[in-house]
Amino acid sequence: MNGKNRQVLVTGGTGFIAQHCILALLNHGYQVRTTVRSLLREAEVRENLRTGGAEPGDRLSFVTADLGSDQGWAEAAAGCAYVMHGASPTPTGDQTSEEEWIRPAVDGNLRVLRAARDAGVRRVVLTSAFGAVCAGHRPMKRPFNETDWSDLTAKNVWPYQRSKTLSERAAWDFIAREGQGLELSAINPVAVLGPVLGADYSHSIRLIRNIMDGQPGNPKINSGFVDVRDVADLHLRAMTHEAARGERFLAIAGESMWLADVAKVLKERMGPAAARVSTRVLPNVLVRLGALKDPALRGAVPLLGLNLNATSEKAMRLLDWAPRTREEAIVATAESLIRLGLLRGSGQAG
């Protein structure tokens, strides 16, 4: 392959999934360029990649680009054969409006796709989310699959889920109307676990950290889980496999689990390190009462008792994807939190 065919842009290089995508690409011999909002974070990204076992040197380069601005994206995409686009705005604070979630997500996707099209990129792999698949549906007897889209007319659809749904739809619409031959694949992961590389990690990792840190019990919440290394592997397969062109792929390892069962895995597999883990199921009424005072619990209430099982049969069949088990993902998360001193009482917990 020539140089261009080995150059890949990964957006949002400070992100958990993005950094594991960078590791996977480097391990497969690609040159990687990644975007950050500030070059001051280059050292942090490189340190996290070192934790993941990579010393990329000049095989990794950095470009400043923000999803809220056109500046930097043409430079970022120039000379790249592929783009893995996982950067996504995450507004903070209890008072953030839906517009603050949705507009940057939609506009950001379109900025990246325009830059990729104009640079002659062959394919963009979009990191979407299970939130673009499962929200707003009544309980189903079958697992969710790639034909499902979140129902935004329903109540209790979070701004995050709405933003992921609308931004992914906007991406597919762009490809259909203005893509000019640019190819698109989308990855829709459930809760992403696996080895943490640094102190800045995802909401899903906090589920495991909170259980390990001794939360008093587990709301009756159901979730699918997948290891971040397998999510990165699926991105890599979707990037080059002919069967992935124009397709969505759910990423889940096995069946979904209740949080109390996640706690049981930790209790059984982590030995003395899981001394604080509670396998108790919190009564729904207690969670609802707690949500009146605790904003962190508020989002859990609509999910109580809801089975969110999904299937990755499509990715396994079309792309020969073979993820680790959900138990392996859970244990790898806990082990990495311990290794990096990120649990309560370790001296570095945040």
Of 141, 155, 164, 220, which is the active-site residue?
A: 164
The runs of H, that is alpha helices, within the chain are: 16-27, 42-51, 73-77, 98-118, 159-178, 203-212, 228-240, 259-269, 284-291, 295-298, 313-319, 326-339
Known catalytic membership, residue 164: yes
Q: CA 162, CA 255: separation in Å to the nearest integer?
A: 24
Q: Beta strands 191-193 and 222-223: pairing type?
A: unpaired
End-to-end CA distance of the chain: 44
Please give the angle made by the CA atoms of 228, 232 and 237, to the nearest 5 degrees.
145
Strand order in the sheet with 60-64: 60-64, 31-36, 7-10, 82-85, 123-127, 183-189, 248-251
Q: Count CB-CB contacts under 10 A for residue 314.
A: 17
Residues annotated catalytic, as ranges: 164
